[in-house]
Structure 1
C-alpha cells in the first residue's frame, strides 16, 4: 500500500530518470580502511539523553571510513553505533550506515553538512551520492554526509513482507474499497502488514521513532567532530529537523528545511493537507496543458472509476488497476519537469487502452525493480510513521471523512481518507505523540523553504513550521513555483539564498520570496 505523504523527494526524480534509461549506482556495506577523524574548531559537546550523558563507548567512537560498493569516486562509508533504546543508553546498540564526501577546500572547511532526503524510509547512503551534483557548491566547504536512519535499509532496516506478498497486495487489495468485502480485504491486509513487521523486526519496531533518530543525529554530530549540527532536511527530513531543533536547540547549526511537513497536523490533518496539495498540483498541471481543471479532473476520475472494474493490460502481463494507476498519476506531480510523463501515461491509457507507462511510474514509486523485487522503504516508512503517531483513526472515522475529502479532490480524496485508518490499522506498537513538536527557542536561525505548488508537503506547512520553531528562529522563504522541494527543483533564486546562508551565514529576511 503506497502512502502519498512524504515520499522521498529526490528518489522520485531519480526513479523517473530511470524510465528514460539513466542509471545510478548504489552503495553497500562499508569495507574498513584507515581510521580518520576530524578535529573541530571547538570541542563538540557530548550528546545527552535527557539529563544523563551517553557512555564513552559511544561518544568516543572513531569512524572507520572505507569504500562503498558501486558508489562514485570520492565517497566513503562507515558505521556508527547508537543505543537501541535511549531510555537505557548502556544497553543494546544498533549500527547506522553513513556515507561521506569530504570538502574540496579543506583549508576553508566549515564542518559536516548532514542530509535527510525524506520518506521516512529513504536511504541517504543511496540517495546522496546520486544527488551530489545538486550540492556541488556546498561540497566546496562542507563534508557532505548522509545515513540510513534507524529502521531503514542497512541500519537495522525494518522488513514486513516478502516480495511475493507485496505483489499480491498490489494486485488484489483495493485501496478505495467500495463494498464490505473490499473493506474487509483492505483492513485485513493492513493488519497483516503490521503483524509481518512484528514477526520480522520486533526488536527495533518500538524504537524507530523520529525523536530517537534525532537523538542519533546528535550522537553522529559529536562523533563526526562538529560542535553544532549543520543540516539540510527535505520533505520528512524537515519534520526530523524540527524535532532535532526542539530536543537540542543549543546544538543547532546552519539548518535548512525544504518541502516542509506541517508540524501541527495529526494523521487526518496530513491527509487533508495532501488532498488539497495534490489536487492543487493536478489543477496546475491541467492548466499547463490547456485543460479546464474541473473538466480534466473529472476525466481522470472517470478513468480511475473504469479501472476499478476493468484494469488495463500491460506488456509484462500484469494489470494496471485503479490503485496502481493512482500511484502512477501521483509520481510525476512531484516535479514539473516530469509532467510530460503524466501526459503520455494518460494518453496511452485513454487512447490505446494499455497501462504500460502508468504502471512503470507506479513501480518506480513503489521501488519495484524489473525482477519484481521491492526495496524496504515502504516497510520502513510505515514503521516510522506508526511508531510516531498516536492518531490512528478507525474505519468508521475514515468513512465519515469520505464526503468532504471527495469534495476536496475527486481523484485523491477517497484514497487519502481511507489511508487515515488503514495505514496504522492494528499496529503492534503504540505511537509516541499526536503530532511533532518543533518549538526550538534558543536555537539559531533555521531557514524554512516552502514552494507554493508543492503537492506532497503543501506550502501552508512551511508557514506553520516557521511559526512553530519560534520568533527569531524560523525564517520563511517562499518559492513561487511547482514541485516537491525548491533547492533541487531548479530555482536559482532559492539556491543562491540557501548557499549564501549555509556557506556565508547570510540569513535571508524573514518572508523573502523567490519566483
Structure 2
C-alpha cells in the first residue's frame, strides 16, 4: 500500500539537467543482448518458449558511466504480427516500486495480446529489484517476527518498538552496499533510455502502471524528444509528498471500501464502523488462524486492503470479514500473505524491500513520530478504517534511513514531448483518480491527454472496459490520440 510521492516542486539537479552528465560509452549503447531461454525464479517456473531473457549492462552511477556496471534483467516476447507492421518494442513497468517485470510480464501478457500484433512486449526488473541486483534487507524469520510489531502504536512502548523495527530494517538494507545509493527512479528512467537505444528504437514506447506512471513521467521530463507512444494507467499524483500520498491512499481505499459496501446494499458508514471495531478488537487480541499463526490488526488491515485492488476480489473480502466475525482469521491472513509475498512454505519475496529502498532514496520526506501523531486525527477523518495505518506509515517508512532522499517531488514537466495518454479510474484505491488529472497538468499543455474510466480497482486497461481498451489500443497501435477529457463509463 505505501508508495512513493513528493510534495513541492524541487527535483534533484540530475533530474533537471540530463545533458550535464557524461555521455555513455559505446560499450554500453552498442551492446548486443544475448537473448536466451528464461530461467525459473523464486516465485515460479520459467515462462514458456514464447519468452526470451537477457541482461543489459548499465552504469551503476550515471555520473561515472565508464565505472562499475549493474546488470538489469530483461524479458521479451517477439511480435506475432508481420515484421513490416512492427512499430518497435513496448516496454512495461507494472509498479511497486519493486515489482519484477520479468516475473509479471508473462502473467499479464494475455491482456496485451492485441498490442503484440505490432510490438515486441518487453519488461524488466528495475535496478535494486529481483534479478537486477535485488535488495534484500531481512531473512524470512526476521520478516515473520516483524509482523508482530504493531503498525498503529497506542503506547510509548509500542511506538518505540515500531521505530526500532524501522531502524533495523534500514540497517539490514545496508548489506546492499553501493547499490543502495543507486536505485533511484531517475536512474531507472535513464536505464529506460539505454534500453531504448540497445533495443534499436528511435523513441520510447511505454506503458507504466501505478508507480510505473511516475517512472514514465520522469522519463518524459528527462527525455521529452524521445517520447514515443506512452501510456500511464493507475496514475501516481506527482504533486503529493509522503504525507500527501498517504492521505490520497487513505481516501482512495476508504472510497473503494464504501463502494464495496454499497454494492452489497449496506450503508458505508455502518460497514466501516463494523470493520473499525473488528480492527480495534484485533489490536487487543489477535485471532487464531491456520498453522498456529495469528491475525493481528496490522495483518487484517493489509488483508482487507488487498481485496480492494480489484472488484473481482470483493467476494474474498466478504468471506474474510465473515470468518473473522466468527473468530477465524485464516482467510484475512491468507490475503495479507498474498500482498506480503509470502508463500505456503513461509518464504517471503523481496518486492517490499526494493520498494522501500527505491522510494526512500527518491523522497526527502522524513516525518517524525511527533509530526505524525499531530496528523492522526486528520487521517482518521479521511478513513476510519485505513487512516491510522496510513498515518503511522509516514513516520516508519523511511525512519532512520541510511541514504538521503533526492527530491520533495518528482518533476514530470515535459514541454515538447509527444502526447502522453493518462488514464484515471474513478474507483482506484491505491492511486486515486485525482492523481491522473494532476499528472496530465504537470506534464504540460498539449502533452498530458486525460482519459477517465468510471470503474473500480487499481488501473483501467484490461479491467473490463472495451471503451478504455479500444482507446488505448488505437493510441498505441495507430497513433490516434483521443480528445483530452474523454470519459468511458
TM-score, normalised via structure 2 length: 0.95
Q: Secondary structure at the match of 1:466?
A: helix
Q: Which residue of the partner structure matches residue 13 of structure 2?
A: none
Indicate the residue corresponding to 2:259 in structure 1.
Answer: 284
Structure possessing the higher relative contact order (Cα contacts under 8 Å, 6 or more residues apart): 2
| Alignment partners' CA distance in 2, 1:357 and 1:288 | 21
Matched, 1:173 2:149: yes
| Superimposed CA distance per residue, residues 226-277 of structure 1 (whole angstroms, 9 cap, x where no aligned partner) | 0000000000000000000000000100000000000001100101111110
> Which residue, out of 16, 21, 24, partners 1:54?
24
Q: Matched residues in 2 for 1:140 and 1:163: separation?
A: 42
1:306 matched to 2:281? The reply is yes
The partner residue of 1:482 within 451, 456, 463 is 456
- 1:73 CA drift (Å): 2.4
- The DSSP-based 3-state class of the residue aligned with 1:448 is strand
How far apart are residue 52 of structure 1 and its match?
2.8
Distance (whole Å) between structure 2 residues aligned to residue 319 and residue 276 of structure 1: 28
DSSP-derived class of the 1:316 partner: helix
- Give, in angstroms, the shift of residue 488 of structure 1: 2.2
SS in 2 for 1:255: strand
- Which residue matches 1:468? 442
Within the candidate set 120, 139, 154, 2:116 is matched to: 139
Secondary structure of 1:204's counterpart equals helix
How many Å apart are 1:50 and its aligned residue?
Answer: 3.3
Q: Which moved more, 1:103-112 or 1:257-266?
A: 103-112
**Residue 391 of structure 1 pairs with residue 361 of structure 2:** no
> 2 CA distance for matches of 1:233 and 1:475?
15
Displacement of 1:135: 0.1
- Deviation of 1:315 after TM superposition, in Å, equals 1.7
Deviation at 1:492, TM superposition (A): 1.0
Q: 1:123 aligns with which of 75, 97, 100?
A: 100
1:438 aligns with 2:412: yes
Q: Report the equivalent of 1:163.
A: 140
1:357-376 paired onto structure 2 within 5 Å: 357-376=331-350
1:111 and 2:93 matched: no
| Partner Cα distance (2:276, 2:266) in 1 | 15
- Contact residue 256 and residue 446 of structure 1 kept, 8 A: yes
- Cα displacement string for residues 66-116 of structure 1 (whole angstroms, at most 9, x for unaligned residues): 001320221000000000011111111000000000011122100000000
Structure 1 counterpart of 2:7: none
Equivalents in 2 of 1:51, 1:205: separation in Å? 20
Contact 1:332-1:342 at 8 Å conserved across structures: yes
Q: Distance in 2 between matches of 1:73 and 1:66?
A: 10
| In structure 2, C-alpha distance between the alignment counterparts of 1:486 and 1:57, rounded to whole Å | 40
Per-residue CA deviation, residues 464-490 of structure 1 (Å, 9 max, x unaligned), is 000000000000000001110100211
Secondary structure at the residue paired with 1:114?
Answer: strand
Q: 1:92 to 1:49 in 2, by over 3 A?
A: farther
In 1, the alpha carbon distance for the partners of 2:244 and 2:125 equals 28
Given that 1:49 and 1:215 are in contact with CA atoms closer than 8 Å, whether structure 2 keeps it comes out as: no
Map 1:243-322 onto structure 2 (within 5 A): 243-322=218-297
Q: Aligned to 1:279, what secondary structure does the other structure show?
A: helix
**Which of 370, 378, 403 is residue 377 of structure 2 equivalent to?**
403
- The yes-or-no answer on 1:89 pairing with 2:59 is no
- TM-superposed CA distance for 1:51, in Å, is 5.0
Tell me how far apart the structure 1 counterparts of residues 138 and 232 of structure 2 sit (CA, whole Å): 32
SS at match of 1:476: strand
Alpha-carbon separation, structure 1, partners of 2:151 and 2:21:
45
User: Any conservation in 2 of the 1:5–1:457 contact (CA below 8 Å)?
Assistant: no
Whether the 8 Å CA contact 1:49–1:86 is kept in 2: the answer is no
Question: Is 2:197 aligned against 1:222?
Answer: yes
Q: Deviations over 1:453-473 (max 9, x none)?
A: 000000000000000000000
Task: Indicate the SS of the match to 2:407.
Answer: coil
Q: Distance in 2 between matches of 1:488 and 1:327?
A: 24
Q: How far off its partner does 1:5 sit? A: 3.6
Partner SS for 1:119 = coil
Using the TM superposition, give the Cα deviation of residue 319 of structure 1 relative to its aligned residue in structure 2, in angstroms: 0.2
Write the distance in 2 (CA, Å) between the matches of 1:441 and 1:241: 14
How far apart are residue 389 of structure 1 and its match? Answer: 0.3
Q: In the aligned structure 2, how far is the partner of 1:268 from the partner of 1:310?
A: 30
Indicate which of 210, 218, 221 corresponds to 2:185: 210
Inter-partner Cα distance in structure 2 for 1:373 and 1:442 = 47
Alignment partner of 2:55 out of 61, 79, 85: 79
CA displacement, residues 363-421 of structure 1 (integer Å, 9 cap, x when unaligned): 00000000111111010000000000001111111101101111111110001111111
Contact 1:259 1:451 in 2 (8 A): yes
Compute the displacement of 1:49 (Å).
5.7
Count of paired positions: 470
Residue by residue, what CA displacement relative to the aligned partner does 1:301-324 show, whole Å, maximum 9, x if unpaired? 000000011111112110001000
Give the equivalent residue in structure 1 for 2:126.
Answer: 149
**Contact persistence 2:279–2:297 (CA under 8 A):** yes
Residue pair 1:260, 1:449 contacting (<8 A) in 2 also: yes
Deviation at 1:337, TM superposition (A): 1.1
Which consecutive aligned stretches of 4+ in structure 1 deviate over 2 angstroms post-superposition? 3-6, 48-52
2:21/2:62 contact within 8 Å kept: no
Partner of residue 412, structure 1: 386
